[in-house]
Amino acid sequence: MAKKKQKGNGSGTVYPRKNKAGKVIGYRGSYCVNGKRRYVSAKNKSDAEKLLRQAMSDADRGLAFDAGALTLGSYLQRWLEDSVKDTVRTTTHERYEQIARKHITPVLGDIKLKDITAAHVRGLY
């Protein structure tokens, strides 16, 4: 009998999720980023493995962040500097920054990113 291949350390884990009756209802992948455990879920094992690989590569590139304590104002500042600044014209970047500073941040800037709802956005309009 051949020996089963084992994954290396730090490659994440995919395991089945079961209901109370013991029936497999999906698969969950887990991995670690900066000492915190993160999860991805899918209906079948191959999809869970694919999502896990993508999530881990995104984390390696610095795209994973903790939205728990992040406010909308600080997210907008980081988004403008990291994602927008080098991809649009200078005048466009200045206009985006002005809109965020004058309209969005005073109203919604102190709210945590994970707590923003559609009602908050409608209230902004």
H or E, element range at 25: strand 24-33
Please indicate, yes or no, whether residues 54 and 25 belong to a single structural domain of this protein. yes
| Confidence (pLDDT) at 44 | 92
Instruction: Report how far residue 58's alpha carbon sits from residue 35's, in angstroms, rounded to the nearest whole number.
Output: 16
Q: How many CA atoms lie within 13 A of 54 on its CB side?
A: 8
Q: What tens digit of pLDDT does each residue of 42-58 get?
A: 999 999 999 998 888 88
Please indicate, yes or no, whether residues 76 and 51 belong to a single structural domain of this protein. no
Domain interval for residue 25: 13-60
Question: What SS3 state is found at 112?
Answer: strand
Q: What tens digit of pLDDT does each residue of 64-114 get?
A: 656 667 899 998 998 898 888 888 999 999 999 999 999 999 999 999 988
Instruction: Report how far residue 55's alpha carbon sits from residue 60's, in angstroms, rounded to the nearest whole number.
Output: 9
Q: Which tokens go with 29? A: 């992948």
Residue 56 lies in a domain: yes
Q: What's the whole-model pTM score?
A: 0.51
